[in-house]
Amino acid sequence: MTSSTVLSKDKIRQSFAAAMSDMYQQEVPEYGRLLSLVKQSNNKFIQQNSITLSSDEDALLAKEHHGAIRVGTAEELSALRRVFNVMGMFPVDYYDLSVAGIPVHSTAFRALEPEQLLISPFRVFTSLLRLDLIADEALREEAQQILSTRNIVTDELVALLDKSESQGGLNEQDAAVFVAEALEIFRWHQQANVKKEQYDALNNTHRLVADVVSFKGPHINHLTPKVLDIDEIQSEFKKQGFKAKAVVEGPPNRDCDILLRQTSFIALDEAVSFTDGETGTHTARFGEVEQRGIALTPKGRALYDELLNLARSNKSDKEDHATTLQNAFADFPDSYEELRKQELAYFNYFDTKQPCCLDKQKRSLEALIESGNIDFKPIRYEDFLPVSAAGIFTSNLAQDNEAENKIQQSPNQDSFEKALGTQVVNAFDLYQSQQQASIERALAEY
């Protein structure tokens, strides 16, 4: 390869995801343990269900993951947008976490096209701290002041961002430097940016404020491998002494998985040195697993939200969470055929290559499905769920504190997009156009 050849963004994302995984295994040894447990559990599931994976699928399964970080300022968020762009990752959807008492709003950076997701499905749930939701004015100003002095990107990285933007990508050599420099943003810093008493004051206001403001950079706070049987992992977590969250977030266990189910285990206490020489601990980094199902249409999503609310209001001490959830979701169709007929979920349609006996004018999509000439398979949900994300956030902050209940609910997508420097992509539009393109492709054969 000559040095002027631009390397594919998918390849850069793939090597960045691998580098991030290596770094996180070194920083958080439990993550290495988690990866072995997930591998064992996935293998067991594959054997028990006699699933045959191609070598590509197998490699992808081991690689599947998302991560999460939290930044403090508009400049930091927009720098991340530029960094992720180099890896072919774009902000999809807006998530307002203030509804759950968490002073952040978020997006998820990811690749947009199915073929790109197959090369590397790596995503990063990225949150921006909302100091505007913090009531204590003096503390808010202090936090702003501290954040204004830090710089999360190295000069080398900025030069490579400029280069990539002006020449439409990076060559292999530059990409290798880019991966190493970008990784620095996500590294854990034991050395805090603040004095012990400042940390304590921030922590008393909201644990997230302390997490975002007190350090030199926005450390990666978890990486999440994909699992095939999350209920089994949840019970293994308990057996093997991981401090798992009490419940699995998201929809119940079903024949046809929908959206996203996730669970996590409690964060580490990590040693910190403050600028005044004092020492202490900070709790932020944890482990999580995810199981993904079919993407829902707006109609399906409305039904999901309604039934999830029903389950939350039916919550009682007499029944466990899984049972309450199962009961509430009894009205959610659980076959792909029904999900499709009721337009609750998205599908990829494809030509089965069977000989077609229908008259030309009768070859509609539905008739061709009926005659066995077109078939469909689920489109996987690639995004996140705000209620679940809130559950993950809160279960991984240290001790609860009073002030946190005072965060006002106030979504503000406009201000988020201004900070980001672009609008977020709407996930429904992505799934809808993927489905539509597959229908057109399949019908073009007839």
Q: Which residues bind ligand OOG (CB under 6 A)?
A: 68, 70, 125, 127, 221, 262, 288, 384, 388-389, 392-393
Q: How many helices (H) and strands (E) in the chain?
A: 18, 11
What is d(CA 93, CA 295) in angstroms, rounded to the nearest whole number? 14
Residue whose C-beta lies closest to ligand OOG: 389
Compute the least distance from the CB of residue 262 to ligand OOG, in Å. Answer: 5
Q: Which is nearer to Ni ion, 68 or 345 (CB)?
A: 68
Task: Give 210's DSSP letter.
Answer: H
Residue 139 structure tokens? 């503390």
Q: Which residue is it, tokens 């946190």?
A: 404
Q: Which is nearer to Ni ion, 333 or 391 (CB)?
A: 391
Q: Which does 388 bind (CB under 5 to 8 A by kind): ligand OOG, Ni ion, none?
A: ligand OOG
Q: Which is nearer to ligand OOG, 67 or 333 (CB)?
A: 67
- Site map (CB under 5 A) of Ni ion, residues 283-312, x = contact: -----x------------------------
Number of residues located near Ni ion, criterion CB under 5 A:
3
Q: Is 289 helix (H, G, I), strand (E, B) or coil?
A: strand
What lies within 8 Å, CB to CB, of 440 at 6+ separation is none
CA gyration radius for the chain?
23
Q: Which is nearer to ligand OOG, 225 or 300 (CB)?
A: 225
- Site map (CB under 5 A) of Ni ion, residues 48-87, x = contact: --------------------x-------------------
- Would you say 87 and 16 are in contact if contact means Cβ atoms under 8 Å apart? yes
Residue 256 structure tokens? 């046809």
Task: Give 275's DSSP letter.
Answer: T
Q: Residue ranges of the alpha helices (H) in 49-104?
A: 55-63, 74-86
Compute the least distance from the CB of residue 21 to ligand OOG, in Å. Answer: 16
- The C-alpha angle 67, 68, 73, rounded to 5 degrees, equals 145
Q: Which does 95 bind (CB under 5 to 8 A by kind): ligand OOG, Ni ion, none?
A: none
What is d(CA 281, CA 288) in angstroms, rounded to the nearest whole number? 21
Q: Which does 77 bind (CB under 5 to 8 A by kind): Ni ion, ligand OOG, none?
A: none
Total Cβ atoms within 10 A of residue 154: 14
Q: Which is nearer to Ni ion, 7 or 117 (CB)?
A: 117
Q: Which is nearer to ligand OOG, 7 or 69 (CB)?
A: 69
Q: Identify the H or E element spanning 264.
A: strand 260-265
Q: Is 440 exposed, middle or buried (0-12, 13-18, 19+ CB in 10 A)?
A: exposed
Compute the least distance from the CB of residue 224 to Ni ion, in Å. Answer: 5
Q: Which of residues 216-235 bind Ni ion (CB under 5 A)?
A: 224
Q: Which does 389 bind (CB under 5 to 8 A by kind): ligand OOG, Ni ion, none?
A: ligand OOG
Q: Which is nearer to Ni ion, 217 or 391 (CB)?
A: 391
Spell out where 72-165 has E strands. 90-96, 104-110, 123-129
Q: Which residue is it, tokens 């100091």?
A: 131
Q: Which is nearer to Ni ion, 147 or 230 (CB)?
A: 230
Q: Which does 420 bind (CB under 5 to 8 A by kind): ligand OOG, Ni ion, none?
A: none
Q: Which does 127 bind (CB under 5 to 8 A by kind): ligand OOG, Ni ion, none?
A: ligand OOG
Compute the least distance from the CB of residue 389 to ligand OOG, in Å. Answer: 3
Which amino acid would we find at residue 263? T
Q: Footprint of Ni ion on this chain (CB under 5 A)? A: 68, 224, 288
